[in-house]
Amino acid sequence: MSAFGLTFDSSSEEKAKVCDRCIRTSKYINEIPFFENVSMPDLSAYDQEIFLAISEVNSTNWHQFEFAGMPIGKMAAYEFLLNNKIASLEIPEKLFPAYLSSLRYSMGILFFSQVYLAEHAFDTVIVYNRIYSVNNVFCRVAESLGIPTYTLHAAGSSDNHYSKFSLYRDDLQALTINNSAEWAVTKQIALNKQESKLVVNHFRGLLSATSPWVYSSKFKGSPSLELRERMKIPINNKVLLLTTSSADEIFAIKLIGIDPIRTNLPVIFKSQLDWIESVCKYVSSRDDLSVIVRIHPREFPNKRESIESSNGKKILDLLEKISGPNIYVNLPGDNISLYDLAKTTNLLLTGNSSAGAELAVLEIPILCHERRNLTAFPEDLAFWATTKQEYFELIPKLLILEKAPKQAILATRWISFKSSRVARPTRLSKESFLLLVESSLRRPAVKYDAKVPKSWIRFIYRILFWSLNFKDNSEFNLVVERNLPGLHVLAETPTIDSKLLSESDVIQKIKKLLKYSN
């Protein structure tokens, strides 16, 4: 239900539609040879066991609840926290029934999977997006039985999100590819023609903002001067763009035990609020600077969600307290694209936002302070400080620098890496693992119901055909047995035209799309 944006409070009719849709989709899976589609029994069969297990769970101790050696109280909270934009352990009493519902489903899956997985000798378990509660529980049970698990994600570029998929051993691996050995190799390789096209098309998708995975408003191509006039920014002022991260996503993923923090790196600001306040105070002391604080769209009602987060309110309260003539706030309701703002930006300040990679492509210098928790892009794309003093000393230096061409080239390679490579698979015997998977992706979808989105059906078939390629295949067994550490992505189109293009050509094409003149 979460994948379709439904919550505990959604109507029975809305939930029934999703159930019907899943049933229709399962019919196509049933038509594929060698695949058995199993439907879970009514989880009400476990009602008594669930009731006894969670009878003492309340809104104060929910995060301490463990069962069968699992922190299932925390695991069950993931999508609940995101749906309600909660970034703390405090659950309002009026929302607690929704959390309990998630906990009951998680417990039901636990009881079901303990029996089901014990009865079947599975070699591997693959789920779509493991971090969601029921998938997480299912995988934890599988692992307790010695069954390897993988998490599957759609991994195409923004213009075609479901065109490719990635497969990771776990979600921590998925979050740390920006610091992987594979990226260290790939960043030194120039883009080929196909990869260059992918990067440009990725930006086309970002600018159109038609994908639900793109939070930004649609790009309008507004001239820089027009935006300055609208926001009353002095024409001669240098502009800092500060982009925040959504607090609930960070809190939720760390709560379930996925924490990519590198503790050996320094803490520059105590919190996101401390960072915002420090930057605004610095800008207020400079007549030649202006700062646009772009609060992450998830903190407020946007095209995907209708809830305002408590953290968003805290940021607004802070900005109201420290407001000044050269401090500007950008909210989703302003309907200004991030990429329109980029045209008037001289320096991007960010912590852990994908905006870092996207604006780096435009040669805009990026100053980042969240090196300890960075997952959105590689640290090669940004400039860093080790102390607060050094951070503010870097701002005027980077404004003088004006452009960061080296980082722009790396940013194009990073976007290609995420959407096509994310590590080149290890070559296996006579044929590359890469080519085996690519051949399966080239098969067309067999059929689809017009009522079910074609992109989803094709995505499902690609995954299933890929799996069929490895049925009774000794090369796949070799992958499992060797437990290859570099196995990140299993879907990639191999190079068709190996002619190398200059990344500067790609950068110029993207700038042309944005009507970017810097």
User: Hey, what domains does the chain have and what are their CATH numbers?
Assistant: 2-179 (no CATH), 218-412 (3.40.50.12580), 430-467 (no CATH)
Backbone angles phi, psi at 259, to 5 degrees: -130, 105
- Read off the DSSP letter of residue 95: G
The single-letter code of the amino acid at 405 is: P
| pLDDT tens per residue across span 433-481 | 444 344 334 333 333 223 334 454 455 545 544 444 443 333 333 333 3
How do 165-168 and 327-330 pair as beta strands? unpaired
At 452 the pLDDT is: 37
44/161 Cα distance (integer angstroms) = 36
At 460 the pLDDT is: 52
At 433 the pLDDT is: 40
Side-by-side strand order, sheet with 366-368: 327-330, 289-294, 238-243, 347-350, 366-368, 383-384
Backbone angles phi, psi at 3, to 5 degrees: -65, -20
Q: How far is CA 260 from the centre of its chain?
A: 14
Residue ranges of the chain with per-residue pLDDT less than 70: 1-3, 32-35, 421-501, 518
At 44 the pLDDT is: 83
Write 190-193 long-range contacts (CB < 8 A, 24+): 190/413, 190/500, 190/501, 190/502, 190/503, 191/412, 191/413, 191/416, 191/500, 191/501, 191/503, 191/506, 192/495, 192/497, 192/498, 192/499, 192/500, 192/501, 193/497, 193/499, 193/500, 193/501
**Contact indicator for 201, 159 with CB cutoff of 8 Å:** yes
At 424 the pLDDT is: 35
At 230 the pLDDT is: 92
Name beta bridge partners: 366: 348
294/65 Cα distance (integer angstroms) = 37
Instruction: Report, in angstroms and rounded to the nearest whole number, the Rg of the chain calculated over CA atoms.
Output: 24
376/70 Cα distance (integer angstroms) = 29
At 213 the pLDDT is: 76
133/105 Cα distance (integer angstroms) = 9
